[in-house]
Amino acid sequence: MKTKVLKISDVESDCSAILEAARLIRDGEVVAFPTETVYGLGANALDASAVHKIFEAKGRPSDNPLIVHISKRRDVDRLVRELPPAASTLMERFWPGPLTMIFRKSHLIPDAVTAGLDTVAIRMPRHPVALKFIECSGVPIAAPSANRSGHTSPTMAQHVLYDLDGRIPLILDGGRCEVGLESTVLDMTAEVPTILRPGGITYEMLKEILGEVRVDAGTLKPIEGRPVKSPGMKYTHYAPHAQVLVVRGELDKMVARINAMAEEYAKGGMKVGILATQETKDYYKEGKVLVLGSRTQLAVMASNLFWALRQFDDMGVDIVLAEWIETRNEGLAIMNRMLRAAAFRVIDA
């Protein structure tokens, strides 16, 4: 299969590309499209055989459910059995945007989408291309991130092409994703709304509105030997080809330890990458240094994480030494992804 890439600079003037994508969706095909979080690989959420094609193209385990994307608030009503009152408040405040909510599903949602669960994850993205594409398709779009399963999520069309070239018919190229990390997944069926995956809508933002929010115990820890609420979190994830090690401690100690380790690895003939911050970048002596951003701008750092991991792959780095980031606000999502990329290998400085 030849994979076509269509660039969209303006939703109105490039509408023929979006109509082509919508036609593919109605024909039961898959299409990669930009959202503000990461690129998604979409199919008609009401058509089980179209949804199977997503799992096939990604090599995704079939027990990992998908998020259903909608373009209008009212689309949610027929997809769920009940809407807790707090959900309406959250939709008003955060939709369209990077918040996915989990509800009890209606009979319209096939088991292929939810991996057999009785619940469904729903989100309204805010990227104009995503909204127009969903609207023109005329159906809800089931979509996980548009990467090969286990690899880093794509934040640019070229990342999607690298992973899925020849496996899908079309990629809509809407430029670089603004948030750069997947949506926050919030379980609205729990007694107290629970964050199963942290993202751009932070614990602090949700708490301000809901009063009480929980964070799933597996957010910064490996999930072992206990039931998993969000199946996606149990897989090794977001991994670049290089091995990733996270170093934790006070800033100066962290830098000293990373410098010492970098020197050791370089001596052993390894190509070293350092995932640094604006505050520390000038103190590194060895290796390829990439800067996520300033520690005072966590959202910017979040938006650069997947991009940086893919950059290290392009540079042919063997090992990435990454600084621990404090876990408040967007820092929680950064460390959730970074720890999974590192398979939870953390060294105290």
Under 8 Å between Cβ of 130 and 216: no
Smaller CB distance to ligand AMP: residue 145 or 277? Answer: 145
Q: By CB under 6 A, is residue 117 in contact with ligand AMP? A: yes
Q: By CB under 5 A, is residue 184 in contact with Mg ion? A: no
Which residue bears the tokens 């751009």?
200
Give the shortest CB-209-to-ligand AMP separation in angstroms: 21
Phi-psi region of 28 (alpha: psi -120 to 50; beta: other; left: phi over 0): left
Among 67, 255, 292, 338, binds ligand AMP (CB under 6 A): 67
- Picking from 307, 297, 294, the residue whose alpha carbon sits closest to that of residue 337 is 307
Site string for ligand AMP, 145-174 (x = CB under 6 A): x-----------------------------
- Tell me the residue ranges of DSSP E strands in 14-143: 31-33, 40-44, 67-69, 99-104, 119-123, 141-143
N residues, the chain:
349
Binding partner of residue 180 among ligand AMP, Mg ion, none, CB cut-off 5 to 8 Å per kind: none
Binding partner of residue 120 among Mg ion, ligand AMP, none, CB cut-off 5 to 8 Å per kind: ligand AMP
Q: By CB under 6 A, is residue 180 in contact with ligand AMP? A: no
Q: By CB under 6 A, is residue 121 in contact with ligand AMP? A: yes
SS3 287: coil
Under 8 Å between Cβ of 134 and 34: no
Smaller CB distance to Mg ion: residue 84 or 231? Answer: 231
**Among 5-13, 59-67, 166-174, 283-291, which window interacts with ligand AMP (CB under 6 A)?**
59-67
Q: By CB under 5 A, is residue 152 in contact with Mg ion? A: no
Among 127, 151, 159, 197, binds ligand AMP (CB under 6 A): 197
Handedness of CA 25, 169, 163, 325 (dihedral sign): negative
Name the residue number minimizing CB distance to ligand AMP: 232
* Cα–Cα distance measured from residue 323 to residue 131, given in angstroms and rounded to the nearest whole number: 36
* Dihedral angle, C-alpha 181, 187, 188, 189, nearest 10 °: 160
Query: 170 φ, ψ to 5°?
Result: -150, 140
Q: Which residues contact 210 (CB under 8 A, 6 or more apart)?
A: 86, 90, 193
Give the shortest CB-146-to-Mg ion separation in angstroms: 9
Binding partner of residue 114 among ligand AMP, Mg ion, none, CB cut-off 5 to 8 Å per kind: ligand AMP
Among 35, 44, 114, 155, binds ligand AMP (CB under 6 A): 114
Q: Which 83-112 positions form the footprint of ligand AMP (CB under 6 A)?
A: 102
Q: By CB under 5 A, is residue 145 in contact with Mg ion? A: yes
Phi-psi region of 59 (alpha: psi -120 to 50; beta: other; left: phi over 0): left
Q: By CB under 6 A, is residue 120 in contact with ligand AMP? A: yes
Binding partner of residue 230 among Mg ion, ligand AMP, none, CB cut-off 5 to 8 Å per kind: ligand AMP
Cα atoms in the 13 Å half-sphere on the side-chain side of 280: 25
Q: How many positions of this chain bind ligand AMP (CB under 6 A)?
A: 20
Which residues lie near Mg ion (CB under 5 A)? 144-145
Binding site for ligand AMP (CB under 6 A): 64-65, 67, 102, 114, 117, 119-121, 144-145, 182, 185, 196-197, 229-233
